[in-house]
Amino acid sequence: MAGPSLLDGITVLDLASVGPAARTSRWLADYGAGVVKVGPTPKQGGVQITPPFYAYAGHRDMRRAQFDLKVDAGREAFLALAATADVVIESFRPGVVDRLGIGYGVVKQVNAGVVYCSTTGYGQDGPYSQWAGHDINYLAVGGYLDCSGRDAAGGPALPGATIGDGAGGGMHAVIAILAALVHRAATGEGAYLDVAVADGVLSLMSLHLDEFLATGAVPAPRHDLLTGRFACYDVYPCRDGAWLAVGAIEPQFFANLCRALGCEQWIDHQHDDGVQDAIRADLRAAFATRDRDDWVAALGPANTCVSAVASVPEVVDDPHFARRETFSDAHDAQHGEFRQLGRVLAGMNRHQGVAEVRPGTTTDTGELLRGAGLNDTEVTALLEEGVVA
C-alpha cells in the first residue's frame, strides 16, 4: 500500500491540455497533489488539443472539470472552484485570462493565498511575448541550438527530447510553484508566477552565458570540454554499429580508459588540442574491435565513465531501470493494458499499482463544485444550462 505523498492536500487547477503547463501538473500530481484538468465544455469542441491516451501518463490520478468561461455563469462556477485551490496554472497567451475574467487579479479576490502560474513561451512582457512558438524556438533564442552538435548539412542538430518544454518550462514552473508554496506556508501570502520557457532555457545555458559575459569567449560546438573539444568527452561507434558515450572528464578516469583500450600513450595528453584528432582516431579504432555491449560490460564498472547510447526500446528493457521500478502498468478501456513511465523523480511515491486511464468524456465537475460549496440545485442548473459539463 502506498504511503502519504509529499504534496498530499495541495489542490491544483490546470487549464492547459498540452505543453509545459501540462508537464507541470503531471509532476505535481506525481508528488501527490490533487490535480483538476480544466477544459472547455463539449459545445466548444476543438478549442483545446486532445493529447493521445498515453500522453502525460494518461492523466493518471487527475480529475476533470469543464466550464464555458465565455459566459458569466460558467466563469463564476470556475471562480468558485478556484476559491478552494492552492495553485492555478494557465498557458494562454498573455492577456487572454484577463479578457476571460479569470486572471490573477480576479482569482486573488476570491482566494488571497492562491499561487497563480502563467506559463508561456516568452513571458508576459517583452517584444516576443505575443509570438507563437514551440520547443525548437525557445531552444533557438536561448542559444542552446547554436551550441549543439551539427547535422549532416552543417546546421544545428535537433535535440532528441523537448528540453525547453520539459526542463525550461515544466520543471521551471514546478520549482517556482513549490517555492511559492513554501513562502505561503511561512507568510500566508500567495504569488503570481510569470514562467517563460525561454527564461528557463537561459538558466540551462548558464555555463555558456556566464563564460561569454565574463570572458568574451563565444561558445559553440567543440568550444569546450562539454561540447566535444576533447576526445575524452564524445561518442564512438562500435563493431556492431551501436554507439558508446564517453565522459572521462577527470584525469584518473581518462587514464583508466586509455589503459583499457591499449592507448596508454595518450594518458598525459588529455587536453592537448594539437593531438585530439589522433586520440579520437585511436579510440575509434579500439572501440571498433568489439560490440557495444561487450565494451559496456567491461568498461562500465571500471571507472571509465563509459555507457551505451541506448535506444528507447533498450531503455524500457534496461535491468537497472527495472530494478528501480521506473516503469509501471496502466489500463485504458479502449486500448487495454500498456506500460508507462512511472513516478521517477526523487520523493515521488513509486508504488501505486496499475493506473487507470479514464475516458476523455468523464468529468468530475459536479462533485468538485459541490465540494466548493455549491448546492445540488445550483450544480444541476449549471449542468442543464451547459455552462459546465
Annotated catalytic residue: which of 98, 134, 240, 351? 134
- The CA distance from 250 to 304, in Å, is 9
Cell (9 digits) for 234: 564524445
- The CA distance from 168 to 174, in Å, is 10
Give the strand pairing for 233-237 and 243-247: antiparallel
Establish whether 317 is a catalytic residue: no
Q: Which residue type sits at 359?
A: P
- The CA distance from 72 to 13, in Å, is 19
Cβ-based neighbours of 225, under 8 Å, separated by 6 or more:
232, 233, 249
Annotated catalytic residue: which of 30, 86, 165, 234? 165
Q: ∠269-275-278 over CA atoms, to 5°?
A: 110
Cβ-based neighbours of 106, under 8 Å, separated by 6 or more:
79, 98
Establish whether 273 is a catalytic residue: no
- The CA distance from 166 to 49, in Å, is 18
- The CA distance from 112 to 191, in Å, is 9
Q: Which residues pair with 38 in a beta bridge?
A: 65
Catalytic residues: 134, 165
